[in-house]
Amino acid sequence: MQVRHHLPIAFIVVALASPAMAQTDSAARQKVERYARDLGATFTSDPALRDAIRVSTRQHRKFGYPETLAEDARWRNEMAADRKGPRPLVDSVFNNPVSAKLKDIVSSAPGGAVVDIQVTDGYGWNVAQTAPTSDFYQGDERAWQSVISAEPDKIVLSAPETGDGRILIQAALPVVDGESVIGAIAIVVDAERVPQ
């Protein structure tokens, strides 16, 4: 789940230099966890989002290893910096109606607390996102694997990434339909901007 932004969606290992930093880290993670849970609850029950996840999961159900490599290569080719012309695969994810809703959530988040949101299906393929990722398939990422097979109330937080005066933390949560986990969301949050 790598986002072309400041924080890779893949987990980052950060060494804590002091007990004071550990306390700050813990407080930031608790704040982000509460915020991400509340925010996720406002849109993960959206019928359009769930339908998009189900459709994507059905489309990718029969993909084997060769098809996965080919589709991911197609995405990477469309994302290449020197690419000119249309990007049908990337645009089908980045410019779909669910992505438009997610972009509205990011732009309206109080204080700019939300940096990115990404939705993946039951097999780990991108469904919707606010910033194009470097690859299409996220099923090999630890964040996706940690929530897709977990309890419906599971949340997985990355270690903080600091820089540019920001503390960015990714929260990965399952998308649940009834008692079944059908997909996952990853929300990148600026911990310093989370409303009190």
2 inside domain: no
9 inside domain: no
6 inside domain: no
- Per-residue pLDDT at 13: 34
- Per-residue pLDDT at 153: 87
Cα–Cα nearest to 102, from 76, 85, 126: 126
- The burial of 64, by beta-carbon neighbours within 10 Å (0-12 exposed, 13-18 middle, 19 or more buried), is given as exposed
Domain, as residue range, for 187: 19-193
Per-residue pLDDT tens digits for 47-93: 999 999 999 999 999 999 999 999 999 999 999 988 888 899 999 99
- Per-residue pLDDT at 24: 56
- Per-residue pLDDT at 8: 39
How many CB atoms sit inside 10 A of residue 71's CB? 17
- Per-residue pLDDT at 165: 81
- Per-residue pLDDT at 23: 46
Q: Is 111 left (phi over 0), alpha (psi -120 to 50) or beta?
A: left
34 inside domain: yes
- Provide the CATH number for the domain around residue 139: 3.30.450.20
* Sites in the chain below the pLDDT cut of 50: 1-23
Using the structure block, give the residue that is written with the tokens 């911990």. Answer: 191
User: What's the total number of domains in the chain?
Assistant: 1
39 inside domain: yes
7 inside domain: no
β partners of residue 120: 126, 184
11 inside domain: no
- Per-residue pLDDT at 196: 77
Q: How many alpha carbons fall within 13 Å on the CB side of residue 52? A: 27
165 inside domain: yes
